[in-house]
């Protein structure tokens, strides 16, 4: 591990390869013995960077406890670059049915399958994909936390506006809808909103759940 000083305080860059216990021991060692002198004095803010280590809440608390052992060190943040673990307690997929009417909004952190219509003035906002089994006449925002790979599919795609990540697009000037369209989907291609038939979804956004044939 390394300790860097910035004008905001100290940054603890922790090794992300070793065992967690090992890491904790080293942290304790540095704070209590080797770096004792430079870590005393007035209140110092500490930002902990875990690298690619995915730490549980208990592990984060353990790190906090060790650093707090020095009264003048205040932990401001503990950041990990690791992706969310798959066993996350939050549901990432939801099926919902009904009508989203004008003035109503459905938000969800994950991928949503909405069975029913979304009327003009109604909106769906999700961090993942949005699938509408019905008419999408209102607004849909997929990948709302910035995921540009998110898609929006609808049995009847006639939205007032589509958003994926931070791209906003509106019909009809920007994309061509076919009048006799069957189910379609919207995706981003180099920052531009594109519409295509649903059969092409697996080619454009290949994923782990694709059916490959037997």
Partner 1 sequence: MGEAIVVTSGKGGVGKTTTSANVGTALALLGKKVCLVDTDIGLRNLDVVMGLENRIIYDLVDVVEGRCRLQQALIKDKRFDELYMLPAAQTKDKHAVQPDQIRDMVVQLKKDFDYIIIDCPAGIEQGFRNAVAGADKAIVVTTPENAAVRDADRVIGLLEKEPQIDSPKLIVNRVRPNMMKRGEMLDIDEICAVLAIDLLGVVPDDEHVIKSANQGEPTVVNPDSRASIAYRNIARRILGDTVPLMQLEDKRGVFGRVKKFFGMN
Question: Smaller CB distance to partner 1: residue 13 or 133?
Answer: 133
One-letter-per-residue 3-state SS of the chain: CEEEEECCEEEEECCCCCCHHHHHHHHHHHHHHHCCCCCCCCCEEEEEECCCCCCCHHHHHHHHHHHHCCCCEEEEEEECCCCCCCCCCCCCEEEEECCECCCCEEEECCEEEEECCECCCCEEEECCCEEEEEEECCEEEECCCCCCCCCEEEEEECCCEEEECCEEECCCCCCCCCCCCCCEEEEEECCEEEEEEHHHHHHHCCCCCCCCCC
Least Å distance between CB 98 and partner 1?
A: 9
Both tokens of residue 6?
Answer: 């910035």
Nearer to partner 1, 105 or 182 (CB): 105
Q: Which is nearer to partner 1, 104 or 161 (CB)?
A: 104
Place of tokens 């080619």: 203
Query: Applying CB under 8 A, does 135 fall inside the site for partner 1?
Result: yes
> Which one of the spans 34-42, 95-103, 123-131, 166-174 is the region binding partner 1 (CB under 8 A)?
95-103
Residue 103 sits in the site that holds partner 1 (CB under 8 A): yes
CB of 102 to partner 1, least distance (A): 4
Radius of gyration of the chain (CA): 24
137 binds partner 1 (CB under 8 A): yes
Q: Indicate the residue among 99 and 168 with the shorter CB distance to partner 1.
A: 99
Residue 142 Cβ, how far from partner 1 at the closest point, in Å?
23
Size of the site for partner 1 (CB under 8 A): 12
List the beta bridge partners of residue 126.
108
| Per-residue interface string for the shown chain with partner 1, residues 112-131, x marking contact by CB under 8 A | -----x-xxxx---------
Compare residues 119 and 147 and give the one whose CB is closer to partner 1. 119
Question: With respect to partner 1, which residue has the nearer C-beta, 4 or 101?
Answer: 101
What is the smallest separation between the CB atom of 95 and partner 1, expressed in angstroms? Answer: 19
101 binds partner 1 (CB under 8 A): yes
Q: Which residues bind partner 1 (CB under 8 A)?
A: 99, 101-104, 117, 119-122, 135, 137
């Amino acid at each position: 591990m390394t300790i860097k000083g910035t004008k905001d305080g100290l940054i603890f860059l922790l090794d992300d390869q070793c065992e967690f216990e090992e890491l904790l021991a080293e942290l304790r060692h540095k704070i209590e013995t080797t770096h004792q002198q430079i870590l005393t004095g007035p209140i110092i803010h500490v930002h902990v960077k875990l690298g690619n280590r995915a730490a549980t809440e208990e592990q984060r608390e353990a790190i906090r406890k060790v650093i707090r052992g020095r009264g003048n060190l205040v932990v401001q943040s503990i950041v990990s670059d690791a992706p969310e673990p798959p066993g996350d307690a939050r549901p990432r997929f939801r099926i919902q049915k009904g009508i989203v009417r004008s003035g109503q909004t459905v938000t969800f952190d994950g991928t949503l399958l909405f069975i029913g219509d979304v009327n003009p003035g109604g909106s769906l906002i999700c961090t993942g994909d949005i699938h509408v089994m019905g008419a999408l006449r209102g607004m849909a925002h997929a990948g709302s936390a910035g995921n540009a790979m998110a898609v929006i599919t609808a049995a009847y795609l006639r939205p007032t506006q589509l958003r994926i990540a931070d791209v906003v697009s509106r019909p009809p000037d920007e994309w061509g809808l076919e009048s006799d369209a069957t189910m379609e989907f919207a995706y981003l291609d180099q920052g531009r909103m594109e519409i295509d038939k649903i059969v092409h979804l697996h080619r454009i956004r290949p994923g782990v759940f694709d059916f490959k044939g037997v």
